[in-house]
A and B are shown apart, each in its own frame.
Chain A
Amino acid sequence: MTPTIKIAYLYEDLMNTYGDSGDVKILRYYLNQKGYDVVVDNISLDTPELDTTQYDFLFFGGGQDFEQTVVAKDIHRFYEPIKEWVEQANPMLGVCGGYQFLGTHYQMVNGKTIKCLGILPFHTVFRPEARMIGDTKFETPFGEAIAFENHSGCTYFDDENLKPLGKMSEGYGNNPEDGNEGLLYKNTMGTYAHGPILKNLNITEFFVEKIIDRFNQRTQKNV
């Protein structure tokens, strides 16, 4: 029987507008080449619970503002399993909105805040005057990456121990001031990089390895 890797795609039917589904397609392609089947489950408004013991990878992409406000109301019921997943160093990728949700809150233009998961100590401020749109290039621990960003949310770290994913050489990244892109915490990556980011095979390689490790651990095989 072909081993089957399982991916939980958080709100695939709502957070899906910026081509980030490409990240999952790319992972599927390389995992297939390594002999694994890949199954993707949509975890959404009508999913009763998120049983992470069934999964090898959590993916959370970018969505439109309206969809994002609806997700914000629903997502808190998945706080425990996602928090545990991240802390146990399992692989997760959050892009744009999916990245912002890992922080504590999202501050809107009218001063109101949307409560996020609060798994990691950072927050995002919506600044309509800061439209960060365009090609990006940044240096990561895995090497250089190129991508495309399209956001008005500016992300700020609230704990100096938190590490960014990379240093910008082109474009904005987290915000117009810091010159940093995304975050990397254990095996969780948050990023503003669409494009999709996993067209950078150095980063894909990192995830493929971590996903297979997790699969082996989950199915209790020793390699």
Chain B
Amino acid sequence: MSLRSQLAVTSGKLSYWFLNNFRNGGTSLPGKIAYKLDPTVLKSLAKNYQTIIVTGTNGKTMTTALIVKTFQQQFDNVLTNQSGSNMIQGITSSFLSYKSKKSKQKPIAILEVDEANVAEVTRWTNPKAFVLTNIFRDQMDRYGEIYTTYDKILEGIRLAPEATVIANGDASIFNSKPLPNKFVYYGVDSDKQQTPSKAPVNTDGVLCPKCQSILLYHSMTYANLGDYFCPNCDFKKPELSYKVTEISDLTTQSSDFKIEQTSFHLNIGGQYNIYNALAAFATAREFGIQETDIKKAFDLNKRVFGRQEMIHINDKIANLILVKNPVGLNEIIELIQREKEPFTLVTILNANYADGIDTSWIWDGDYEKFADQNIEQVIVSGHRHQDMAFRLQVANLPLDKTKIVPDLSNLLESIEKAPTKKTYILSTYTGVLEFRKYLSDKGIIKAGLN
């Protein structure tokens, strides 16, 4: 390690120690300090690790968490970064603060990486594998269009031609550019008997990358994911190395499915989480972890920050769900369609930089589907409550049952007074942060991110 790197590491560790002891835990500040002193500090820190980079629009956090759980079954030292600290400085912080156990094994680093930071993180960590979840339209003011996002990820992958790419085989974009890397695809097995059809009209990324015809699908799971093929040329879904063969049960709280012949259970709902689990399964298998260990790990899975987090408020149960783009939102709406009991729907819409300053994406969400459900009250909160209230009005949600609570500090009281036991809270990123902070100040939940 160079003297400069050594200084950067020491300063970073010192600031971590300080923050951890005198403040309530730091996230990216130690990394920021170390990175400022020496931008190559991550190279020294990550030198001994086998690194796996997890990226994509949706499912990064859950997939990373599941991979970590599976690797912990077999490896002594598994480092990861906190959700929300997925850029270079936050990742540097994670390395600075990791306390490794004595072990003969090489330590593993499983990193959730922001799409635009893949190249930078790859440059310093020499990853063994990339795990790609999906790419959907997401905060267009920040990320730009889906092809631009994939180009940013490719910039990183091209720096590591020896790394294996473990990609969602149901996403046509991951099959659109030839690379020297070994590709391993995972996906959902499909029934070829169905009559092929186009994706629903409001789906993005449906053009054939080779001949620009509109793709057809033998079957679809959600958004643009499915068994795609081009009716005009030979472009089609690749062979899958790992596949979900059956989805036997999906509730708002859990999912049961089979990967190949083995049954799995997750204590979290949503089709998209089955993809996340499958991505974790594929990664674990590529690194030689046994199926029985993977099964054990999935059973242990905790809910993570703002991802269907269950919060008890007196005798009520609130399910706090992060929504940040139309595809993720529509999957959550789909999940809540399975709710049989009456409930209260809460929305928190903010438009800070981290949420995306453009709120027009809510119009691509299928809020219309809520109109037929047993919703006894709608509570609209967040900085952009007016936009959301109008969106829900147009979706034909009952105006007379809609309550506007602009200020988040009054939201808890409104939920306590809500007419139903169950509440679903759909919130953008900074809304989740703000509301969780408020709840932890009140002692309703513990502080911290996980």
Q: Which residues of A contact B (CB under 8 A)?
A: 9, 12-14, 16-22, 25-26, 29, 42, 44-46, 64-67, 70, 133-135, 148, 150, 194-196, 199
Contact mask B139-150 → A, CB, 8 Å, 1/0? 011000111000
B387 contacts the other chain (Cβ, under 8 Å)? yes
- Structural contact, A134 and B394, CB atoms closer than 8 A: no
On whether the beta carbons of A21 and B364 are closer than 8 Å, the reply is yes
What are the 4 closest A-B residue pairs judged by CB atoms, nearest first? Answer: A22-B363, A19-B360, A64-B145, A19-B363
Given contacts A19-B364, A25-B363, contact A66 B141 (CB under 8 A): no
At the interface, yes or no: B358 with Cβ under 8 Å from chain A? yes
Q: B199 within 8 Å of A by Cβ?
A: yes
Task: Look across to chain A and name the residue whose beta carbon is closest to the beta carbon of B391.
Answer: A22
Interface membership of B378, Cβ < 8 A:
no
Q: Does B37 contact A (CB under 8 A)?
A: no
Cβ-defined contact, B394 with A26, below 8 A:
yes
A133 to B204, CA, bound (A): 21
Q: Smallest CB-CB separation from B367: which chain A residue?
A: A25
Fill in one digit per residue for B117-141: 1 if any A CB lies within 8 Å of its CB, else 0: 0000000000000000000010011
B147→A148 contact, CB < 8 A: no
Residues of B within 8 A of A (CB): 137, 140-141, 145-147, 198-199, 201-204, 206-207, 212-214, 357-364, 368, 387, 390-391, 393-396
C-alpha spacing A222/B71, complex, angstroms: 73
Specify which of A21, A64, A148 is in contact with B202 (CB 8 Å cutoff): A21
User: Which residues of B have CB within 8 Å of A25?
Assistant: 363, 368, 394-395
Complex Cα–Cα for A116 and B391 (A): 33
- Complex formed: what's the CA distance from A65 to B145 in Å? 8
Give the distance in Å from the alpha carbon of A90 to the alpha carbon of B198 in the complex: 31
Across the interface, A148 reaches (CB within 8 A) one of B358, B390, B393, namely B358
In the bound complex, what is the Cα–Cα distance between A67 and B208 (angstroms)? 11
* CA gap between A148 and B140 in the complex, in Å: 11
CA distance A29 to B199 in the complex (A): 24
Report the Cα distance A71→B361, complex, angstroms. 22
- Interchain CB contact (< 8 A) of B201 among A42, A64, A65: A42
Given A25-B368, A195-B359: 12 more A-B contacts, CB < 8 Å: A12-B201, A12-B202, A16-B202, A17-B140, A21-B202, A42-B201, A64-B145, A66-B145, A70-B207, A135-B357, A148-B359, A148-B360
